[in-house]
Amino acid sequence: MADQLDILIKNAVIVDGTGNPYYKADIGLAAGKIARINRRIDESGAGRVIDATGLVASPGFFDAHSHDDAYFIFNPRCDEKLLQGVTTDVIGNCGLSLAPISDGHRQDLWNVIRALSGGTMPEDAWGIKTFEDFLARLEAAGPTINIVPLVGHGTIRLAAMGMAKRPPSRAELAEMKRLTAEAMEAGAFGFSTALILAPASFAETEEVIELARVAGQFRGLFAIHLRSESDQELEAIDEALRIAREAEVPLQISHHKAAGKPNWGLSVETLKRFAQARAAGLEITLDQYPYCAGSLFLAAALPPSIQAGGPEVYSERLKDPDLRREVIREIEAGNGGQWENLIKNCGFEGIVIASSRNHPDYAGKSLAQVAEKEGKNAYDVFFDLIVEEQASTTVILWMMDEEDVKRIMKSPLTMPGSDGLPGFGQKRFHPRMTGTFPRVLGRYVREEGLLSLEEAVRKMTSLPAQTFGVKNKGLLKEGFDADLVLFDPDRVADKATFDDPTQKPEGIPWVLINGEVAVENGLITGAASGRVLRRS
């Protein structure tokens, strides 16, 4: 009797996610699972047949580092990721999740995450309070792709003590630990922080250890945006390793890089330290976006000492010329590398405006170019934008060297993560939001031969599935969830640029999620077969 299959994929070149060499076979799907993989499967019992001649079949890709938390509520299809072959998205990174929220500090959270939500959050989303509320809201949105949630340190700190720049009281720390445990019980896969972004940057190492330990008790991981990715990066790595060791928790280094021209080449030493840590028994992995520029909100370039109180407070204070002069002195002095000095790392010519609510004509121009056009000092352009727009102005930050990008990419510990900030309908944002995965496959696999196809797919699939503890995904294996990508290895390419980041990739005609066709011949079908996953 012929197999009873919902979908049969014929004549595929299978790259299964293990890193093993490809082989050729058919794949049968039934009830949302991979039912059979065999050299030849009879198609007479299949409800639908997809001819994959000339195409590679791989597991669906994981975006190991996204900021799509609010975007899934705004646009549950998450088109930009889906068209790249992303079937599972890790949210809640860099210490910024949309929950938990406390009534007393709801506005504080809104101020901090405004740049990550495009100012478009539906009103009912602000009825969210607990992490369970947030996951239920995501489920109600009907996402097209799977979601792996982390809970954020910055959000938890805001809920307990707002934007206070001090250590927590005993009661506040107890509340933060309670909120962390509550999120883990609701299904968070781990705990994230960004020790360069307020309010997490106000935390001492011991506070982070206490909270990471809670996540570890639930068998979650700890993801960290290091306190420095430039002048003090080695010291910041030592801090991260200490947190992971003392909290007894696996460590994920977020968007690893060596930022600022004086630090180019530092990845030789950072990767050596990570290898030594693994040899000593510490579970450590990395994610990375394959570009030489990053992206943040402009106000992140302020010294942490100015950010206390939040955007509404510091934007008002920065009207004071005396305070501006003090900030300039602190930036120019470098402050001994005790905070991430983005202006020193990039220069005003390397900070390019992606979106500005009040000045859309600034998009695509550097602060230096805006200053020249306006006949102003570049520092005044910087301060004036923050005064006008608080934390909503987003920028592209040119600060990395291609050789470091390649060296980090080749590490067996590294997986791709877009770190993309959604455009929310705007036409200017970092192209990593739309191009990360086809860029790896097209530029670094096919054109440059930096990675083999099998190794690149492993990094996008089984490595993140294993790292985050996601069951039944990340491999083309019988019994696993039917998340698959069919792509043309000779054509797959990113088309998004910094001038036009909205351009769709090429060479990814089919994407299937939990057994349903989500992309057919390069077009989104509208199938809402994604799931909000919960760590059990």
426-454 per-position pLDDT tens digit: 777 899 999 999 999 999 999 999 999 99
Average confidence score pLDDT of the chain: 94
* pLDDT, mean of residues 55-60: 98
Same fold across 5-60+476-524 and 61-292+405-468: no
**pLDDT 10s digits, 100-152:** 999 899 888 888 877 666 556 656 666 789 999 999 999 999 999 999 999 99
Tokens 């031969």, located at residue: 449
Structural contact between residues 91 and 64, judged by C-beta atoms closer than 8 angstroms = no
- Exposure string over 382-407, b if 16+ CB within 10 A, otherwise e: bbbbbbebbbbbbbbbbbbbeebbeb
From CA 319, how far away is CA 380, in angstroms rounded? 10
Q: How many helices (H) and strands (E) does the chain have?
A: 19, 21
What are the tens digits of pLDDT across the range 243-263?
A: 999 999 999 999 999 999 999
CATH of domain 61-292+405-468: 3.20.20.140
User: What confidence score (pLDDT) does residue 83 get?
Assistant: 98
Residues 371-430 have pLDDT tens digits of 999 999 999 999 999 999 998 898 999 999 999 999 999 999 999 999 998 877 777 789
The C-alpha atoms of residue 231 and residue 257 are separated, in whole angstroms, by: 12
**Amino acid in the structure at residue 23:** Y
- pLDDT value for 110: 81
Residue ranges per structural domain of the chain: 5-60+476-524, 61-292+405-468, 297-398
What homologous superfamily does CATH list for 5-60+476-524? Urease, subunit C, domain 1 (2.30.40.10)
Segment 315-327 mean pLDDT: 95
What does the DSSP assignment read for 387-425?
Answer: HHHTT--EEEEE---HHHHHHHHHSTTEEE---PPP-TT
